[in-house]
Amino acid sequence: MKVIGKHLTVDMYGCSFELLNSLDFIKDAMVTAIQDANMTMLEFSSYKFEPQGLTAFALLAESHMSIHTYPELGYAAIDVFTCGDNSRPDKAVHVLKSFLKPEKTKTTHIKRGDFGSERDMKPKVKVQATPMKRMRDTSAKVLGLLKNKKSK
């Protein structure tokens, strides 16, 4: 069976509480991502949880996009599944990143319908951290090494 579609699952960490808790903002981000990625929205549905968080779902002519937010954790779980050759789920994810400005992301690429070799069945995972996050992590390691040298 040939590849039917592209399915991207994205975990975004270190996002703003306010952005993740704003249904209007998330809907605007999704609509922009859908348009920029050459997709067609058929229907939009959402639910706002109390005291915080939301789920937003866009039914697309090409398949679907969903976002589940956990503002208290600064975390968003995003799903973009598209069929056909004209849509660009990777572009949609890029647009969502520009809106949510995560410190770190983990993107998993899955080829749907691909029943090829075992190697093909393993999803491709890509992890990215913003330069400031990498700098903080590196600084903490350097300081830790300096402390260890002084205590010896």
How many C-beta atoms lie closer than 10 Å to residue 90's C-beta?
14
Structure letter (DSSP) for residue 107: E
Handedness of CA 98, 99, 100, 101 (dihedral sign): positive
Q: Choose the catalytic residue: 68, 94, 139, 151.
A: 68
Q: Choose the catalytic residue: 66, 83, 98, 139.
A: 83
Catalytic residue list contains 83: yes
Q: Choose the catalytic residue: 7, 15, 63, 87.
A: 63
How far, in Å, are 56, 75, 94, 95, 138 from residue 129 at the CA level?
Answer: 25, 14, 14, 16, 12
Q: Which residues are catalytic?
A: 63, 68, 83
